[in-house]
Amino acid sequence: MGPALFTPLELRSLRLQHRGWVSPMCQYSCGPETGEGVPNDWHLMHLGSFATGGAALILTEAAAVNPVGRISPLDAGLYNEEQAAGWERITSFVHRHGTAGTKIGTQLSHAGRKASSYWPFSGKQGSVPASDGGWDTVGPGTGAFDGYAAPSAMTVQEIDGVIADFAAAAVRAVDAGFDTIEIHGAHGYLLHQFQSPLVNDRTDNWGGDETGRNRLTLAVVDAVRNVIPDSMPLLLRISATDWAEGGIDTEASVRLARAASDHGVDLLDVSSGGAVAHQRIPVGPGYQTGFAARIRRETGVRTGTVGLLTSAGQAEHAVATGQADGVFIARAALRDPHWWLRAAFELGHELAWPPPYERAIPRHSF
């Protein structure tokens, strides 16, 4: 048998040729020249390079489901037809040129109280004021993320509106040619804000106990699942722990995983952190893989793992030992957009190269 990393995986009717995937990575590059939230040539190049580099599945950066859900003024969206057309250009390229039968999914998101923020290379931090193109944010309550402007507490009508926005964005994603959809319920963004007892202090049906705090995430899952084809897999990214006392822990995430599976989620993309600034994360190679392994072991739900997994050996170990069903690569892919071709060579697996690049196929060393 060959390497576990390069075995196929089926999620509903979607067949992925191997278990090496691209994690969502915000590019903060939707400039005003192409329209608010519209992906452009940068995104085509960025995502297209992973398709020609051998990735089996690419997840795009977070695509906001409405304007106030954008992380920054330069973030992508899927709340209008112009944005959907921009994404369709990219999905077509990936399907046409992907060397591993590459599939592509989008990550639907709402940033909640962490929206309207400055992008990492702006030289600034915190919330963007209206004078710089920012907007008022919303969240489960009025508590602000450290260094950010305070949000307004969402009304029940606004919550219902966000659920509808996720569903509408999912319809656009299907029409734009995406093969799968991931719902962003992690990293301190809106759905995670509702999940975390460190953020959600509501006393109505959308807060209180764990069932109430998870209600919005599961309502969004239901809304999306109801509008996409039954044959299309649905993914959910979660933060398995808040890395802070009194916050979400792995036991709570196992319970959420079970519920999400019951509501039609096919794979959990397991990350961590982001809800509060006082988190303490023991960062190191594979520091999050244990969360994916535990969820997979205790629930039977398929999982993907992410976080400082940079080498072919690390990725192979995670899959071969049953810690995860797939490995999402992020920063290592930015450094080497052909990471999967390199990994296949190092693990002794033959993976197709783009015909114009075949003269570069390594014989002895990569």
Q: Which residues form the catalytic set?
A: 189
SS3 60: strand
Between the alpha carbon of residue 122 and those of residues 55, 119, 200, 215, 252, the distances in Å are 30, 6, 30, 35, 36
The phi and psi torsions of 101 (rounded to 5 degrees) equal 55, 40
Query: Beta strand 57-64 with 20-22: parallel, antiparallel or unpaired?
Result: parallel
Between the alpha carbon of residue 125 and those of residues 187, 318, 365, the distances in Å are 17, 35, 43
Calpha distance 208→197 (Å, rounded):
8
Residue 188, C-beta contacts closer than 8 angstroms, at least 6 positions apart: 114, 145, 196, 199, 239, 273, 274, 275, 276
